[in-house]
Chains A and B, each alone.
Chain A
Amino acid sequence: MFRVRFHGRGGQGMKAASRILGNAFFLEGYEVQDAPRYGAERRGAPIFAYVRAGREPINERGIIRHPDLVIVADDSLIPVPGAGVMSGVDSRTVVLINSEESPKVWKQRLNFEGDVFTVPVETADRAELRFIGVTCVGAAARLLGAIKRETLSEAIRQELASLGSDIVQISLSKALAAFDSMQAQAGTVTPVKTASSAHFQPPDWIDLSLEDARASAPAIHAGATSIEVRTGLWRTLRPVIDHDRCNRCWWVCSTFCPDGAINVDTEGRPQIDYDHCKGCMICVAQCPPHAIRAISEREAQAAEVEEASK
Chain B
Amino acid sequence: MSRTLLTGNGAAAWGARLARVDYVPAFPITPQTEIIETIAKWVDTGEMDARMVTLESEHSMITAAGAAAATGVRVFTATSSQGLLYGMEMLYSVAGWRAPFVLVNVSRGLSSPLTLEPDHNDILAARDSGCLQIHCSTCQEVFDSMLIAYRLAEDERVRLPVIVNLDGFYLSFTREPVELPDQESVRDYVGSYDPETTLFRASAPSSQGVAVLGGGPYSYFRYELHLAARNALRVYDQVAGEFAGRFGRAHRAVEAYRMEDADIAFVMIGSFATKARAAVDRLRDDGWRVGLVRPRLLRPFPAAHLQRLLAGKRGAAVIDQNLSMGLGGVLHSEVASALYGQDGAPPTLVSFVAGLGGRDIADEEFFEMAAVTKRAIDKDETPPPRLLYTEAELREVRKLQAIAHVEYEQLRGASGANEGWRR
Contact = CB atoms under 8 A, between A and B. Distances in A.
Interface residues of A, number: 46
Contacts of B423: 206
Interface in B366-419: 367-368, 370-371, 386-392, 394, 401, 403-408, 411, 414-415, 417-419
A202 interface: yes
A211 interface: yes
A33 B388 contact: no
A26 interface: yes
A245 interface: no
Given A35-B170, A194-B363, 4 more contacts: A59-B275, A61-B174, A197-B283, A205-B389
B216 interface: no
Interface stretch (A69-77, A128-136, A214-222, A232-240): A214-222
Given A32-B176, A60-B278, A197-B279, A203 B362 contact: yes
Interface residues of B, number: 57
Given A40-B116, A198-B286, A205-B390, A220 B271 contact: no
Contacts of A194: 278, 282, 363
B387 A225 contact: no
A218 B411 contact: no
Contacts of A23: 5
Contact of B390 (A37, A206, A219): A206
Contact of B5 (A32, A39, A62, A219): A32
A35 B411 contact: no
B403 A204 contact: no
B404 A203 contact: no
Contact of A215 (B170, B386, B389, B401): B401
Interface string A31-46: 1111111011000000
A186 to B, nearest CB: 25
A76 B371 CA distance: 42
A59 B278 contact: yes
B286 A197 contact: yes
Contacts of A218: 112-113
A222 B272 contact: no
A206 B176 contact: no
A200 interface: yes
27 contacts: A26-B177, A33-B175, A33-B176, A35-B169, A35-B174, A59-B275, A59-B278, A61-B174, A61-B271, A62-B360, A63-B360, A65-B360, A194-B282, A195-B364, A197-B283, A197-B285, A198-B286, A201-B364, A202-B367, A202-B371, A203-B388, A205-B386, A206-B390, A208-B420, A209-B420, A210-B415, A215-B411
Contacts of A209: 417-420
A167 interface: no
A40 B371 CA distance: 38
Contacts of A19: 5, 175
B391 to A, nearest CB: 5
Contacts of A35: 169-170, 173-175
A265 interface: no
B22 interface: no
Interface string B249-283: 00000000000000000000001101101110111
Contacts of A63: 360
Given A59-B278, A194-B282, A22 B272 contact: no
Contact of A211 (B112, B278, B286, B418): B418
B49 interface: no
A59 B363 CA distance: 11
B169 A37 contact: yes
A211 B169 contact: no
Nearest to B415: A212
Contacts of A211: 411, 415, 417-418, 420-421
B411 A200 contact: no
B306 to A, nearest CB: 22
Q: Which 9 A-B pairs have the closest CB atoms?
A: A59-B278, A218-B113, A35-B174, A222-B405, A195-B363, A221-B405, A220-B404, A197-B367, A198-B286
